[in-house]
Chain A
């Protein structure tokens, strides 16, 4: 089912006015700084936070609309939510946690298939305290999905994981979301989550949407200071074969990945070095290009380089001065293969 929401509400002295549309099968990331109101939006969709204006529709059903007095309480909305700390019921086993939802609905949902899909068969009799971060996340997901919700809401799903686990779980989550048939709204403050997991990004700052669009577009063309600073990365889609990626839209990248097929490449601008002359060294990606844009942000300068693939480099203002960087200028760029993060698409 799709999720269509216009959320108008206030928390304390902060107001939120945000519009969100998520089609079935789509994953929309709600990205923003802490305190922007992202979790509030999610909770409003779930029915845990009343709205003062706007409208929330799940599928064809209007679940909340203040002007018409419509309000369907949380327990009757068919949404599944995964919370930031997972909130697995500590006094119940994994199995009981997962079966909790279907028990309330008095239906015999296919809990077994989710248990298998998320590889939880060995954990069923454990208590949440005995699970690792990654395991807990999978249980939380299974618990939410066991009720067969019409939409999935994920609140900072990877925030509680340590760096190493985050990477692998993010990949697994991506694969799962790709195949999930209903709409998913995902809240995060980590740009990497948005880039890897989402089809579209909605940027929320101070309770208002400041930018929205397909992931790659938002990622490569940040229109606010926050986003640009936050992202600082470039996202490139392509096909990988034996470490070489044929980028969508042209160009090639030499990477260290063993992945094959459709992939998503993430490049931090800081990983690209600029040189006046052809550089020597171990970098596998070296190319000659033209500077198409120079953007000063805080303590770094973002330099867009002509593609394909179009990449962005970040250098210090001092370097800009040293190299005499200006739009239209020709420049050499280098990027190490190991500095490109690859995710299977």
Chain B
């Protein structure tokens, strides 16, 4: 920072330092309490390995579904003007502000055994979504999708739609325009949105435990394992928390702020 750049007001710097401290202290506390010597043993225990495996698999699936469903949704919100669009967008973004447990409850009312749709799944096919790994994926997708939609919608709005028009004059049909022009143009934001959705899915707790339940190997993802471990062994809980933290931090750092919706 050279002398020519606008100097920051001292109050700003002070508050920024305060904010940073506020965010860093829990991290530092965690690192200080980490049982470094027993860490390898704790992390390679069957329960921990199982939870990690489940977390990774379900979060990846959730990211996939969030993308599959979220991109079309984002496209419609960005490109089509229809009555009630603002309301629909509010609904889509609701999981962002809703307490995850509330999200889990609403999922139950829809997909539970006696739920709106869930009852048919159960009565006709004998499929019960709660207490299943599929249920975990559903809960994670529910909370992660808004992240993808918001990122992609922002990107779609910021690109020049005239490229798509130019493509049309060159004979490109809507699907070609989407795959060869639109998506490549937002590729950086799309990737950022997917990664963000994945990170959110990885950390999901409230909706998972409420909707999918908690059982090792089936529905006990890493966050749920931390919660269970907390009641037994604080050490184990800290060790598992560290894993989650490390993964999430790596992901966010590698994004380099792209998920803020800026053009690449």
Contacts and interface: CB of A to CB of B under 8 A. Distances in A.
Contacts of A85: 162
A143 B180 CA distance: 16
Interface string A75-108: 1110111010101011100000000110011000
- The dominant DSSP class at the B interface is helix
Interface string B143-177: 00000000000000000101101111111110010
Contacts of A234: none
Contact of A83 (B166, B171, B180, B184): B166
A105 B185 contact: no
A46 B184 CA distance: 24
Interface string A144-167: 100100000000000000000000
A144 to B, nearest CB: 7
B30 interface: no
Contacts of B184: 91
Nearest to A85: B162
B171 A104 contact: yes
B165 A48 contact: yes
Chain A, interface SS category: mixed
B181 interface: yes
Interface residues of B, number: 18
Contacts of A143: 170
A124 interface: no
Interface in B111-166: 160, 162-163, 165-166
Which residue of A81, A83, A100 has the most chain B CB atoms within 10 A of its CB atom? A100
B169 A104 contact: no
Given A74-B165, A83-B162, A104-B176, A90 B170 contact: no
A104 B166 contact: no
Contacts of B169: 46-48, 74-75, 77, 79-81, 144
A83 B169 CA distance: 10
A90 B171 contact: no
B159 to A, nearest CB: 10
Given A83-B162, A87-B160, A147 B185 contact: no
Interface in A99-152: 100-101, 104-105, 143-144, 147
Contacts of B173: 75, 104
B196 to A, nearest CB: 22
Contacts of B170: 80, 100-101, 104, 143-144, 147
Nearest to B181: A89
A104 B173 CA distance: 8
A87 B171 contact: no
Interface of A: 43, 46-48, 73-77, 79-81, 83, 85, 87, 89-91, 100-101, 104-105, 143-144, 147
Interface of B: 160, 162-163, 165-173, 176, 180-181, 184-185, 187
8 contacts: A47-B168, A77-B169, A79-B169, A80-B169, A85-B162, A87-B160, A89-B181, A100-B172
In the A-B complex, the 5 residue pairs with the smallest Cβ-Cβ separation, listed nearest first, are A101-B170, A104-B171, A74-B168, A87-B166, A81-B169
